[in-house]
Structure formats: structure tokens, C-alpha cells
């Protein structure tokens, strides 16, 4: 069967139907060549999308913010879990001296008549007491704004080698510290740095790498400029802690990074210290110390300890990059200081997103994940990506928590999600195209089957039903001869004749037998005769006279016949034409069939492109791989009207 | 004298053969074939007087077979006996049958009488076309020569022997209109008008009926049908 062979070459009905019926993996449905094409497309575009999204992401500062947020979360989780498992570690090195409203001194009250704040008096009395107990170091964490108490200045000067000041504000800024005396006294001590922000107090131990030998004007801009975060001027507004304090801390208390470690801290990997109240400190009340309450303050409580003197502040609760503060309210500022020192004591360098090799690795990984997302089947892809993301997160958390190795996972998670989204889009896009193609093929197969089925029915009716009706009619004839007086057999005969006429019409609609019995061109010509008979349109058949249609399959010819039939049908119904011409001729490797009329022409606005008749023609043309086109007729032929042009490739040989 | 019966359906061959044996045994013997190819071969071998051909047959269709048979032996009368009522086949026969040749086109639901009528017509050199088809064919032949519906009606009426005034009454026309219709009918059948030729030897009406019978434009069964129709309507009118 010619039809079957030619159709099966490109439709392969059984395999297509089976695949699309089961609705499984679209990539495998359409032959090896097509599938490779799809796979390649998916891999290629998936990789591109993955790389691109990673590049965008890696260059974005958002990633740093995300990473810091994640880091904070990590610390919190790690401290919480570790505290549950191992208990809260108790600091051996640091004790806190706290002050609150229960004490007899009211620190919060305004200083009287512009005098020094009451805390200065407290400190003046407190520091000598503690110094008697031979501590390693006293970190004084207080707001010293306001007028200086000369007695406190004296105390600072006296013990300056053993005092670190954690100050709110910049010591060298007269607007922060109007008291010249106090500033000078404090300058003699080492000092820490506090920043007062509108939403609370943030403490910062500004450790950063200042190349000791090359502190030039040029370097100031290249090194991490914490200053510029808070101060507008590029002038060195404060003396950084490292050289002064770190050495002191290290030599006296053995806490904090050594001078040798400090160069590790760079602007890119600014150390972040985070307090989650993970440590227990011995805490003493100012009142007890001053009253020499030996019950509350055992002798030797301060010996060889770092003593942090602080007051109670309400802490900010929001998250600020780079600096993390306790999330709970009413945490003593002194405790933050202690935790900061503790964190540094462990010498953890916490790197943020490094923009060198990790960057390239990420881009590579993004491409890989993108390709993966573009190829994996829909259900599996989500599981795979969730699994990868979750395992990366858990793995890195375990590393962080137990081994204190910070494996930067945020970029991976970000890349993972981007790759997932883009890869899925690409997958869906290609999938849609594959499915559309399958759908079209299935439709063609259906059409082919429907045509076969119609033909079978037409044949059955023609071969079985018509003869049966005819013989019934002849029996009616016999009856009418035997009963000449009875009118019924004659009526029966005429009824049967009408039925036969109707039946013939049905059979012809189902399958035009003319094509087979007469051939393609006479069949087309017949259509014109029928049109002439039924309408007042004069029809003309122009036949180039070759037999090029012999190369076409039976099915193609049938579809062409139906298209011309539909075209002529449209001419008869809508065109108001008086003349129509059907021309058939070969052009190069094509057989061209034109249906030209001199009617009113096709108004593109009025005739929507998907009107049933036109859609029918288009689908049939698509089905046999023909090009179909509507245009104005050649003005030499008709001045107006419509021309339907069909071009069917003929495979010679 | 030989008649060839070609049909792929054994049932139809048997019906035809029985019928012809009963009624036209003088024209026997009757040979049978089952496809177009066989028909062509048998026709060359047997030189039959008459060939019955089905259209839808394996190997070679009846129409194609008729073409080949008539090409070699134009004197053979061909009757197509088919279930296809498309006039395209009649038109095709018209093309392939020589101008003085005879052919028949009979649908398979024809009564025995109609089949015999067709056979006799073709044997005596006339054309016979099944009623339902003949009516449409008039309008689809060569446009200039084909009869219009009005002319065809007039033809039927004169064949039934009606007078001008009877025709006018029947068709709700004036007599003048009837006469002008008849005029155009005569010219299409190429019958010289009375005024054109003084030596008009023919009665135009009888000539028109004869010619259209010969060309198969009308036939007995058709006229019978019309008569019963017209008489019925007349009865109602009266």
C-alpha cells in the first residue's frame, strides 16, 4: 500500500499513539534523532542559564547580605544546639561587673547642673577597688559623654596600662567627648569603640588589617573602611584597636588574635563576632564590690581575670550586616564585650563570599545545576534540588557547629534555586514544543485513520447496502407486476429509490470514488462541473497536461481533492464570483494547484484566519506537507477576487 | 452475437445473466468477466455486440475498460451498470463513445424492465441513460449546446404529445413563451426552423423527440415517470 508506506515514513502511528497515550517522558517519544536534539538543547540552554544566573548572583552585593544573615542564623542554631548538648561554656577568663537600677547609684539620671554624670563617680570608686584584686585587665564599657570628673581622669591616668575603654563614640571627636581632660586621660588608655545608632547600641571591636608599615593615605581607601560606614570624612577619626588593644589583650589575658594573626583579617573577610549569650560569666554587682560584700564577691574573684565593667543597655533587635548583637533585650553591654572578646579568643576567621576561585567554581556549578534542572524529569527535579540544597545546608551546618569550619553555603543555595527556576523554564519550554509536535503528529494520524475509516464505511455501504436496497427495489417491482391493482409496491419502489439516491450522496461524501475510478484530474474537473451545475458560476479547468500527480500518494491526492472541493465550496458560497478557474501545473519540484475566482475577494478582517473552512484547508495542507496561501489573483486574469494557491513537493524518482 | 457481462460481484452477474437469458436469449451466448482487464481481453477475443460493465472493479475500473474497448472496437455497445450516480461518468462516456456510437448508463437499482430497455436501446444504436442522471446531464454538457431546465421541460412535454396550449397550462406560461422555448430547443438539437428551410421535410416536434431519444436525453422509463407525475398534477388541477 503506497499510502501506508508514505504515511508511516513520517507518522509512525503506532509508536506515537502509544507514547502520547501513556503520557510518559516526552523526550523519548519522538525518535532518537529528535530526542538527541532536545537533550542537547536542554543541556546547552540549561548550562547557559545556570552560568548566567550565577554570574549575576556572584557579582551582586545581595549575596553578602544573605550570607551574613545566614551566618547569624547559623551561629544561633549552633550555639543553641551546642548549649543543649554540651551545656553553656563558662568563661574562665572573664568576669562581668554589672550595674543596674537596683544599685544605689542612678546612672540614668541627668548630670546635675552640667556636671559629670554620676557614673564617673562610681567608676572613680570602683576601679581602684578592682585594681587591688590584681586583675589582668579592666575593660570599661561606659558612656563617658558629658563633663569629665577630674577624679576619674586621675584614676584613668593611674591605671592606664591596665585599662581598656570601650567607648560610645569617637574619642578624638570633641562633639562626642566635649571634655578635653577626659579625652586625654582616655587616650592614654587603650580603647574600644562603640557606635550609637538610632535604634540601639552596637558594639564593634574594629579589628582590621592595617599594614603596619604602610599606613599611607592611599591605603586608607583600599582597606576596609568601617569609618565610611559611620563617618563622612575620610580622615582617620579613631585609632584602630588592633595594635593597641590586641597586643594588650594577648599579652595580658591571652585572649584575642595575636599580632601575627591580625593580617589574616581583610576587608573581604571581615571577622564577624556574634553573641548569642552562649557563655556563662561570673557576674558581680557594683554595689557588692563597693560595699566589700565578701559573700557576693569572693576574694580573688578578679585575680588574673579580664574584668569588664558595664551598665545595662537595651540592645537593638534588628540585623545589621557585619555586626551581630544579642537578640534578646536587656543584655548587659558588658556581656557583649565579653562575648566579643571570647569570640576573638577562639581566633575564628569568618570569611565572607570570596570572589576568586570560589567564584569560578560557583559559575561551573551553576552551569552544571542548570543543565541538570533542564534535563531531569519534572517530579524528580524538585526532589533532587531539595535534596541537594538540604544536604548542603545540613552538611555545612554540621561542619560549622562541630568543627567550626565555615563553609559558605549561601551562594550554593542561591545558585541552586536560580538554576532550578531557569532549568525548569527551559525544560517546560522544550517539553511544550515536543508535546505540540507530538500532538500535531497524533492529529495527523487520527486524520489518516479517520480517512481510512470513512473509506471503509463508504466501501461497505457501496458493496453491501446499495445492492441489498436494489434487490429489495426489484422485489417491489415483481410485487407490482403481481398485484397491478395495488399501489403500495410502486410507492415502496419510489421510497427505495429516494433512499438509494440519498445513500449514494452519503457514500460520495464519505469517500469520493471518482478519484480512484477516474483519476485525479478528471475528479477535479468534475468538481468544477458540479459547481457549474449548482451555481451560475462558469468554471474553467486549466491542465498543464502532465502526470506529475502520479508521484503523489493516494492520501495526498485525496486531501488535495478535498481542499479544492472546500475552496470551490467557498467560491460558490461567499465569493459572489461569476467565473472560477482551477489550474494545475508542475513548477520545479512542486505541483501547484490554483483556485482563482473573480469574486469580491477575501476580506482579512471579515474572514478570521481560523474560520472553520479555512482552518480545515490549512490542516489538510499541513497534513500532506503542502503550502497553502490566499492572495489576490493575477490582475491579467481577474481584476479582483481570491486566489488559493497550493504547493505540494513532488519527490521525483 | 455475444454479450459480455463484467462485474466483480457474483450476485450482480447472476442477476443480469438470468435476466438476459430470460428476455434476450437471442443475443446470447453470455460471457462473464470479473474485472476491467478481463473485460478488455474478452472484448478483443469475442467481439461482443454488447458489454455490461461495472465501474468499481479491481485492477481496472469499468470506465477505463470501456475507454480501451471502444478505442479498439468502436462498434461495441457499452452499458455501464453501476451504483455510482455521479454524472462525471456519463460525461466521460460521452467523450469516449464515438459520435454515432451507442452507450447506456444504468444504475444498479434499476428495475428489470429498465435494464432490458437500456439493452435494447443500445443494441439498436441509441443511448440510454438512467432517469435520475439524465436530468442533470442536460445542463452540464457543453454549455452552448446543453438544454436548460426550461427547454428540457418543453422537450418532455412534446414527447408526451402535449399541445402548445396544454404545455402552457401545465407550466403556467403563455403560449408564446412555450413557442420561444421550443424554438431554442430545436436550434440546440440543430433542427432547421420552418422559416429557414422551405424544404423542411420533418415535423420539428417528432424530429426533436427522435433525436433526443437517440442521444439518450430522454427514454421510455423517464417519460413514464414524467407522465405519471404530470397526469397526477393534472388530475389535481382538474
Tell me: the pLDDT tens digits for A68-82? 667 667 766 776 777
- pLDDT score for A428: 87
- How far B56 CA sits from the closest chain A CA (Å)? 7
- Average the pLDDT over each of A260-264, A399-403, A485-489, B21-25 and give the range with the smallest value: A260-264
Contact list in A for residue B83 (CB cut-off 8 A) is: 462, 466-467, 470, 504
Task: Report angle CA A237, A117, A106 to the nearest 5 degrees.
Answer: 130
pLDDT higher at B144 or A100: A100
A466 touches chain B (CB under 8 A): yes
**pLDDT exceeds cutoff 80 at A229:** no
Q: List CB contacts (< 8 A) between B112 and chain A.
A: 474, 477
**Does A19 have pLDDT greater than 50?**
no
- Provide the shortest C-alpha distance from residue B39 to chain A (in Å): 15
Apex A439 CA angle, A438 and A442, nearest 5: 85
Q: What is the per-residue pLDDT for A116?
A: 65
Give the separation between CA A551 and CA A591, rounded to whole angstroms: 10
Global pTM reads 0.54
Looking from the CA of A283 toward its CB, the CA atoms found within 13 Å total: 16
Contacts with B108 from chain A: Cβ below 8 Å: 466-467, 470
φ, ψ (nearest 5 deg) of residue B3: -125, 135
> Distance between CA A545 and CA A543 in Å, rounded?
5
Scanning A525-584 for CB atoms below 8 A from B yields 525-526, 529, 532-533, 538
Alpha-carbon span A118 to A333, nearest angstrom = 18
Rounded to a whole number of angstroms, the distance from the CA of B174 to the nearest CA of chain A is: 26
Residue B187 at interface with chain A, using a CB cutoff of 8 Å: no
Determine, for residues A518 and B108 on separate chains, whether the beta-carbon distance falls below 8 Å. Answer: no
Greatest mean pLDDT among A106-115, A550-559, B116-125: B116-125
Query: To which residue does cell 548630670 refer?
Result: A111
Backbone angles phi, psi at B221, to 5 degrees: -65, -35
Residue A330: strand, helix, or coil: coil
Q: What band does A445 get if pLDDT is binned at 50, 70 and 90?
A: confident
Among the residue ranges A257-271, A344-358, A583-597, B194-208, the one predicted with the least confidence is A257-271
Alpha carbons within 13 A on the beta-carbon side of A317:
4
Q: What is the mean pLDDT of chain A?
A: 69
**Cβ A467–B88 below 8 Å, yes or no?**
no
Helix axes of B10-23 and A466-482: crossing angle, nearest 10 degrees: 30
Whether a cis peptide bond, with omega within 30° of 0, leads into B29 is yes
Which candidate in A517, A524, A536, A537 is best for mutational testing of the B interface (most B CBs within 10 A)? Answer: A517
Contact A529 B136 (CB under 8 A): no
Q: Which of A529, A532, A535 to mutate to test the interface with B (most CBs of B within 10 A)?
A: A529
Nearest chain A CA: its distance from B22 CA (Å): 15
3-state secondary structure of B29: coil
Q: What percent of chain A has pLDDT over 70?
A: 59
Contacts 24+ apart (CB under 8 A), A607-616: A613/A566, A613/A569, A613/A570, A616/A566
B196 to chain A nearest CA, in Å? 32
Range scoring the smallest mean pLDDT among A130-139, A291-300, A556-565, B127-136: B127-136
pLDDT at A551 over 50: yes
Which of A470, A522, A526 is closest, CB to CB, to B109? A470
Calculate how close chain B gets to A494, using CA atoms only, in Å.
10
Check if B94 contacts A (Cβ < 8 Å): no
What does the pLDDT look like over B191-222, one tens digit per residue?
776 665 556 677 888 888 888 887 777 877 77
Q: Does A500 touch chain B (CB under 8 A)?
A: yes
Lowest mean pLDDT among A36-40, A329-333, A387-391, A417-421: A329-333
Determine contact: B10 vs chain A, CB below 8 A: no
The cell for A182 is 577626659
ipTM for this model: 0.73
Structural domains present in chain B: 3-139 (3.40.50.2300), 147-237 (1.10.10)
Q: Do B107 and A517 touch (CB under 8 A)?
A: no
Residue B236 confidence class, pLDDT cut points 50, 70, 90: low
pLDDT, greater one: A597 or B202: A597
Residue A566, min C-alpha distance to chain B (Å): 18
What average pLDDT does the segment B148-160 reach? 83
Give the three cell numbers for residue A183. 579625652
CB contact under 8 A, A518 and B92: yes
pLDDT value of position A322: 39
Per-residue CA distances from B130 to B63, B76, B173 (Å): 16, 20, 29
Grouping H, G, I as helix, E, B as strand and the rest as coil, residue A320 is: strand
A483 has a chain B CB within 8 A of its CB: no
Q: Which of chain B's residues have a Cβ under 8 Å away from the Cβ of A561? A: none
- The CA distance from A348 to A336, in Å, is 17
| Separation between Cα atoms, residue A472 and residue A303, nearest integer Å | 128
What span, in angstroms and rounded, lies between the C-alpha atoms of A92 and A150? 34
- Burial class from Cβ neighbours inside 10 Å (0-12, 13-18, 19+) for residue A623 reads buried
- Cell numbers 505540494: residue: A648
Q: Do A514 and B136 touch (CB under 8 A)?
A: no
Predicted confidence band at A209 (pLDDT cuts at 50, 70, 90)? very low
Q: CA of B65: which chain A residue's CA is closest?
A: A517
Amino acid at each position: 500500500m503506497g499510502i501506508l508506506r508514505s504515511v508511516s515514513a513520517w507518522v509512525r502511528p503506532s509508536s506515537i499513539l502509544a507514547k502520547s497515550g501513556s503520557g510518559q517522558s516526552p523526550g523519548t517519544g519522538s525518535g532518537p534523532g529528535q530526542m538527541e536534539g532536545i537533550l542537547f538543547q536542554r543541556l546547552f540552554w540549561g548550562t547557559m542559564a545556570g552560568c548566567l544566573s550565577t554570574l549575576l548572583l556572584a557579582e551582586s552585593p545581595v549575596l553578602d547580605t544573605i550570607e551574613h544573615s545566614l551566618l547569624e542564623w547559623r551561629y544561633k542554631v549552633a550555639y543553641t544546639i551546642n548549649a543543649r548538648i554540651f551545656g553553656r561554656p563558662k568563661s574562665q577568663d572573664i568576669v562581668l561587673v554589672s550595674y543596674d537600677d537596683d544599685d544605689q547609684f542612678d546612672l540614668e539620671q541627668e548630670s546635675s547642673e552640667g556636671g559629670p554624670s554620676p557614673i564617673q563617680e562610681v567608676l572613680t570608686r570602683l576601679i581602684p577597688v578592682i585594681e587591688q584584686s590584681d586583675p589582668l585587665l579592666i575593660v570599661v564599657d561606659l558612656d563617658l559623654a558629658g563633663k569629665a570628673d577630674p577624679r576619674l581622669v586621675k584614676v584613668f591616668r593611674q591605671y592606664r596600662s591596665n585599662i581598656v575603654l570601650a567607648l560610645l563614640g569617637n574619642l578624638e571627636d570633641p562633639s562626642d567627648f566635649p571634655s578635653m581632660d577626659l579625652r586625654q586621660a582616655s587616650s592614654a588608655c587603650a580603647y574600644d569603640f562603640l557606635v550609637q545608632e538610632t535604634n540601639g547600641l552596637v558594639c564593634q571591636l574594629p579589628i582590621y588589617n592595617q599594614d603596619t608599615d604602610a599606613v599611607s593615605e592611599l591605603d586608607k581607601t583600599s582597606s576596609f573602611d568601617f569609618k565610611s560606614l559611620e563617618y563622612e570624612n575620610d580622615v582617620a577619626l579613631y585609632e584602630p584597636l588592633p595594635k593597641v588593644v590586641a597586643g594588650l589583650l594577648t599579652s595580658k589575658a591571652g585572649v584575642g588574635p595575636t599580632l601575627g594573626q591580625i593580617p589574616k583579617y581583610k576587608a573581604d573577610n571581615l571577622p564577624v563576632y556574634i553573641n548569642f549569650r552562649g557563655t556563662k560569666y561570673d557576674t558581680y554587682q557594683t554595689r557588692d564590690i563597693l560595699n566589700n560584700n565578701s559573700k557576693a564577691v569572693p576574694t580573688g574573684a578578679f585575680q588574673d581575670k579580664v574584668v569588664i565593667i558595664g551598665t545595662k543597655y537595651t540592645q537593638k533587635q534588628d540585623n545589621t550586616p557585619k555586626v551581630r548583637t544579642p537578640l534578646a533585650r536587656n543584655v548587659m553591654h558588658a556581656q557583649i564585650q565579653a562575648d566579643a572578646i571570647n569570640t576573638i579568643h577562639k581566633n575564628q576567621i569568618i570569611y565572607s563570599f570570596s570572589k576568586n576561585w570560589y567564584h569560578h567554581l560557583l559559575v561551573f556549578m551553576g552551569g552544571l545545576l542548570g543543565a541538570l534542572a533542564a534535563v531531569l524529569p519534572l517530579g524528580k527535579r524538585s526532589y533532587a534540588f531539595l535534596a541537594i540544597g538540604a544536604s548542603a545546608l545540613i552538611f555545612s551546618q554540621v561542619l560549622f557547629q562541630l568543627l567550626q569550619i565555615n563553609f559558605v553555603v549561601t551562594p550554593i543555595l542561591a545558585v541552586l534555586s536560580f538554576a532550578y527556576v531557569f532549568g525548569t523554564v527551559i525544560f517546560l519550554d522544550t517539553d511544550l514544543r515536543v508535546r505540540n509536535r507530538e500532538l500535531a503528529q497524533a492529529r495527523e494520524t487520527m486524520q489518516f485513520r479517520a480517512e481510512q475509516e470513512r473509506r471503509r464505511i463508504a466501501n461497505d455501504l457501496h458493496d453491501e447496502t446499495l445492492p441489498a436496497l436494489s434487490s429489495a427495489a426489484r422485489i417491489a417491482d415483481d410485487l407490482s407486476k403481481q398485484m397491478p391493482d395495488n399501489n403500495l409496491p410502486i410507492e415502496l419502489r419510489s421510497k427505495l429509490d429516494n433512499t438509494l439516491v440519498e445513500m449514494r450522496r452519503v457514500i460520495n461524501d464519505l469517500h469520493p470514488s471518482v478519484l480512484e475510478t477516474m483519476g485525479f484530474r478528471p475528479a477535479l474537473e468534475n468538481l468544477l462541473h458540479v459547481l457549474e451545475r449548482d451555481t451560475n458560476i462558469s468554471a474553467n479547468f486549466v491542465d498543464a497536461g502532465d502526470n506529475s500527480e502520479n508521484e503523489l500518494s493516494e492520501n495526498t491526492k485525496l486531501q488535495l481533492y478535498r481542499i479544492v472541493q472546500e475552496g470551490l465550496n467557498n467560491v460558490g458560497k461567499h465569493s459572489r464570483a461569476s467565473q472560477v478557474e482551477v489550474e494545475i501545473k508542475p513548477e520545479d519540484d512542486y505541483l501547484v494547484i490554483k483556485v482563482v475566482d473573480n469574486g469580491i475577494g477575501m476580506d482579512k478582517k471579515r474572514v478570521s484566519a481560523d474560520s472553520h473552512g479555512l482552518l480545515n484547508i490549512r490542516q489538510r495542507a499541513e497534513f500532506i506537507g503542502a503550502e497553502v496561501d490566499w492572495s489576490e489573483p493575477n490582475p491579467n486574469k481577474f481584476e479582483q477576487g481570491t486566489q488559493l494557491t497550493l504547493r505540494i513537493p513532488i519527490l521525483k524518482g | 452475437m455475444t454479450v459480455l457481462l463484467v462485474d466483480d460481484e457474483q450476485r450482480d452477474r447472476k442477476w443480469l445473466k438470468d435476466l438476459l437469458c430470460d428476455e434476450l436469449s437471442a443475443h446470447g451466448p453470455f460471457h462473464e468477466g470479473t474485472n476491467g482487464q478481463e473485460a478488455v481481453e474478452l472484448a478483443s477475443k469475442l467481439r461482443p455486440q454488447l458489454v455490461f460493465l461495472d465501474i468499481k472493479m479491481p485492477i481496472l475500473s469499468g470506465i477505463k475498460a470501456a475507454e480501451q474497448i471502444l478505442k479498439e472496437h468502436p462498434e461495441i455497445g457499452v452499458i455501464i451498470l453501476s451504483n455510482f450516480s455521479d454524472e462525471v461518468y456519463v460525461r466521460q462516456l460521452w467523450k469516449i463513445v464515438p459520435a454515432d456510437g451507442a452507450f447506456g448508463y444504468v444504475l444498479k437499482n434499476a428495475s428489470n424492465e429498465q435494464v432490458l430497455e437500456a439493452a435494447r436501446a443500445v443494441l439498436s444504436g441509441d443511448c440510454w441513460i438512467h432517469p435520475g442522471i439524465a436530468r442533470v446531464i442536460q445542463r452540464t454538457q457543453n454549455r452552448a449546446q446543453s438544454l436548460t431546465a426550461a427547454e428540457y421541460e418543453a422537450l418532455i412535454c412534446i414527447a408526451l404529445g402535449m399541445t402548445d396550449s396544454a404545455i402552457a397550462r401545465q407550466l403556467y406560461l403563455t403560449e408564446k413563451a412555450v413557442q420561444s422555448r421550443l424554438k431554442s430547443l430545436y436550434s440546440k438539437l440543430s433542427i432547421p426552423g420552418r422559416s429557414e428551410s422551405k424544404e423542411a421535410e420533418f415535423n420539428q416536434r417528432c424530429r426533436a423527440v427522435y433525436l433526443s431519444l437517440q442521444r439518450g436525453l430522454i427514454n421510455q422509463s423517464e417519460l413514464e415517470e414524467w407522465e405519471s407525475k404530470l397526469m397526477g398534477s393534472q388530475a389535481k388541477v382538474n
